[in-house]
Chain A
Amino acid sequence: MAEDDTAKMRLWVKWTIALVWAATAMAVVVLDRTHISATATVTVHVREVSFTTDSPTMFDATNQDRLSVSGPADMTLSVIPDEKSHGTYTKSIVVHAPSTASSCTFYNVRTGPLSLPQQTGIVLLWPKNADPHSYSVRLRGQVAGDIYEAGSDSAPSSYLCTTVDSSASLSSGNLGGRLSNAFATTFGTHGDAQLSYRVRSNEIPGESQVHVSGPLSIAHTDPADPGQEKGVILNPISSDSKNQIVFDDISRTVLLNPNDLVLIQPGADLYIRRFIVDHGIQLDIHGTVRDIRVGAGSKNLRSCMPSIFDTLDNKKRIYGAIPGIVAFILGLFEAVGLLPRKSK
């Protein structure tokens, strides 16, 4: 009878050990495969980045050597009067572009902030065949802005519009002249537009605190409809900087290959903390991310998010501290005599 109980006991112990092993293995697999939101800092030097923002404005007032607006749907130019407008003097010319293939370029001007609609898809682009501090912004959504005369005698503020309809001409075509400081030139774009900036040579263009409200893609793609992406990461401009993703909670760093594609699903508080344009676009992104996928191609994207297992593993020091805290409290109780004495 005793031998029978021992055998049952052994069988029970065997099953218990097997179940504990199986449950632990399953828990590790599940925890290792489950990713949760995390705080990340992404620093990367790129040629192109696309994202969606709900920021109402973008870009501070800046002096520009040149600004090109493609597809101005509604533009009122403040011009120095000349006789080109139906033979009469005029201080303002209304310009309308029939398509986004028409554009107006402004030289030696100061630009105000861009007004954006509620959700705007944005592609920031550094043209590789342009000036190191030139950049373009492709916008999905109607945007508006102001342009001010900021020229000098040697470099006056001027404008040149190509293939546009205007109040200064009966037929569509090119239009050029000098801007006046009488009032601001205003523009609004069609639903899609491109703005190309070249800031004054002594300034480095950039922007800070841009809220990212939709997927952010570091690849040649567009904000909402990813397709067959191409890599756009550039080598870091200095030896001090690296193209990397740092998960702040677990101090884990993921280095990025220049040919990688990166796709970020933002959390509620992801911001482009700052970007500057200097031989590319240097991005500093920080905040909560729901997922970050990195890969060699669009079908090779893998999540590099820390798993729950990584997060728990990173907190092992806390688990080690618990016995220490308990021992400290027990010692404190023993010292003040709160613990019952050992009976003799």
Chain B
Amino acid sequence: MLHRRSRHRILLGLTRAGWPLIHRRLLATVLRVTLVFVMATGVASTLYAQLRDFKNRIEGTEIPHGDADMQLLGVVRSAIVFAPASTLHAVFFLPTASQANSLIDTAKVTIEAREIVPTRNYFMRSKAAQWQLGVWNDFGNWPTSDVIDPQGIQPTNFAVSASYSLGDGSRVYLPVEIIAGRQPSPTSTYTIQFSTAYEIHSLDITLTSPTGVVEALPSAQCPGPATCTLYEADSSHSLSIDMQNRPLGVYQVRLLGHVPNSTFHPELSIKIYHQTR
């Protein structure tokens, strides 16, 4: 016959034999409660930087900060076309110091990719690599199965730039071609992809040659009066520049926007190294 206190202890599970059972149940309960809280707060913890580290690049989603009046998104040599499960290669020509008329630090060569219309905030930046001067370089492998396919990034919404940094912090862009299982095209028409934070009525385009000759290219303009808008605010656009039969070297492209009902002129000025295939 058990003592009354012993009966109470058995009912409460406090016998020596009962302690392990109590511990296991207690531990399981604590773990369950912890799991629930972790899951409940998990939504906040998904708000982390989503750039993933790969061997030759960082790639993922990142919010582009900053509200530049006009921002360069990419400079490409041909339309970007690729299918899912492709392995991309970004091909670009890196000039020698004499060709570019400046010292080139191969450690400061960068390839970047982003969306034209930012619906997923995709971003890719290459890591430092052993680039070769005076030849065509190939950045890859860049499998779309890592980030591009899972994120659903469309090739039609893809902007890519390759560039090297000058000593003064400015950059020279190297028109890049995205190759996914096909031969490079010999085209010398470059497409400049850019975004504007302002409404634009018309866009003046000037091209300065390596020898300093300034040439006004055909401007893009809204056909209506000065209040007419060609490009909407916070939108992305492109323009093509035919570089065929032009001498090789570093060119300066200047885009000067005219804002309806305003004297403000948003501006984008970039340097491009022109090289034929």
CA distance A298 to B73 in the complex (A): 26
Q: With an 8 A cutoff between CB atoms, is A259 at the interface?
A: no
Which chain B residue shows the least CB distance to A176? B223
Q: Is the CB of A136 within 8 A of B235?
A: yes
Q: Is the CB of B40 within 8 A of A35?
A: yes
Q: Is the CB of B152 within 8 A of A191?
A: yes
Q: Is the CB of B156 within 8 A of A191?
A: yes
Q: Which of B186-231 contact A (CB under 8 A)?
A: 191, 193, 197-199, 220, 222-224, 228-231
Which chain A residue shows the least CB distance to B196? A129
CA distance A35 to B197 in the complex (A): 41
Which chain B residue shows the least CB distance to A290? B43
Q: Which of A87-125 contact B (CB under 8 A)?
A: 97-103, 105, 107, 121, 123, 125
A162 and B117 contact, Cβ closer than 8 Å, known pairs A30-B33, A127-B233: no
Q: Is the CB of A136 within 8 A of B232?
A: yes
Q: Is the CB of B236 within 8 A of A101?
A: yes
| Chain A proximity mask over B154-165: 1 for CB below 8 Å, otherwise 0 | 101111000000
A127 and B232 contact, Cβ closer than 8 Å, known pairs A191-B154, A221-B63, A263-B43: yes
Q: Is the CB of A123 within 8 A of B119?
A: yes
Q: Is the CB of A160 within 8 A of B120?
A: no
Q: Which of A244-295 contact B (CB under 8 A)?
A: 263, 265, 291, 293, 295
Q: Is the CB of B220 within 8 A of A227?
A: no
Q: With an 8 A cutoff between CB atoms, is B237 at the interface?
A: yes
Chain A residues with CB below 8 A from B50, complex form: 225, 227
CA distance A167 to B232 in the complex (A): 25
How close is B228's CB to chain A, nearest CB, in angstroms? 7
Q: With an 8 A cutoff between CB atoms, is A73 at the interface?
A: yes
Partner of A99, one of B48, B79, B224: B79
Q: Is the CB of B237 within 8 A of A162?
A: yes
How close is A135's CB to chain B, nearest CB, in angstroms? 10
How close is B19's CB to chain A, nearest CB, in angstroms? 18
Partner of B234, one of A125, A190, A226, A293: A125
Chain B residues with CB below 8 A from A123, complex form: 119
Chain B residues with CB below 8 A from A221, complex form: 63, 121
Q: Is the CB of A222 within 8 A of B47?
A: no
Q: With an 8 A cutoff between CB atoms, is B115 at the interface?
A: yes
How close is B122's CB to chain A, nearest CB, in angstroms? 9
How close is A52's CB to chain B, nearest CB, in angstroms? 12
| Chain B proximity mask over A214-226: 1 for CB below 8 Å, otherwise 0 | 0000001110111
Q: With an 8 A cutoff between CB atoms, is B49 at the interface?
A: yes
Q: Is the CB of B235 within 8 A of A70?
A: yes
A127 and B44 contact, Cβ closer than 8 Å, known pairs A140-B119, A222-B119, A229-B63: no
Q: With an 8 A cutoff between CB atoms, is B80 at the interface?
A: yes
Partner of B220, one of A107, A129, A174: A174
How close is B35's CB to chain A, nearest CB, in angstroms? 13
Q: Is the CB of B232 within 8 A of A226?
A: no
A73 and B199 contact, Cβ closer than 8 Å, known pairs A66-B229, A140-B120: no
A130 and B49 contact, Cβ closer than 8 Å, known pairs A158-B223, A192-B117: no
Partner of A225, one of B73, B79, B120, B220: B120
Partner of A230, one of B36, B63, B117: B63
Q: Is the CB of B117 within 8 A of A193?
A: yes
Q: With an 8 A cutoff between CB atoms, is B62 at the interface?
A: yes
CA distance A158 to B239 in the complex (A): 21
Q: Is the CB of A70 within 8 A of B233?
A: no
Given contacts A127-B233, A129-B199, A303-B41, could you give 16 more A-B pairs where the C-beta distance is less than 8 Å?
A99-B116, A101-B238, A127-B234, A128-B234, A130-B199, A136-B235, A160-B222, A160-B223, A162-B239, A172-B240, A174-B220, A221-B121, A263-B44, A298-B48, A299-B47, A301-B47
- Give 26 CB contacts A-B under 8 Å: A70-B117, A71-B156, A73-B156, A99-B80, A99-B156, A100-B157, A101-B73, A101-B159, A101-B236, A105-B230, A107-B228, A127-B233, A130-B199, A136-B235, A162-B230, A162-B238, A190-B156, A196-B233, A222-B118, A222-B119, A265-B43, A293-B43, A298-B47, A298-B48, A301-B47, A303-B40
Residues of B at the A interface (CB closer than 8 Å) are 4-5, 33, 36-37, 40-41, 43-44, 46-50, 61-63, 65, 73, 79-80, 115-121, 151-152, 154, 156-159, 191, 193, 197-199, 220, 222-224, 228-240
Residues of A at the B interface (CB closer than 8 Å) are 8, 30, 33-35, 66, 68, 70-71, 73, 97-103, 105, 107, 121, 123, 125, 127-130, 134, 136, 138-140, 158, 160, 162-163, 172-174, 176, 190-194, 196, 198, 220-222, 224-230, 263, 265, 291, 293, 295, 298-299, 301-303
Q: Which 4 A-B pairs have the closest CB atoms?
A: A101-B238, A127-B233, A298-B47, A196-B232
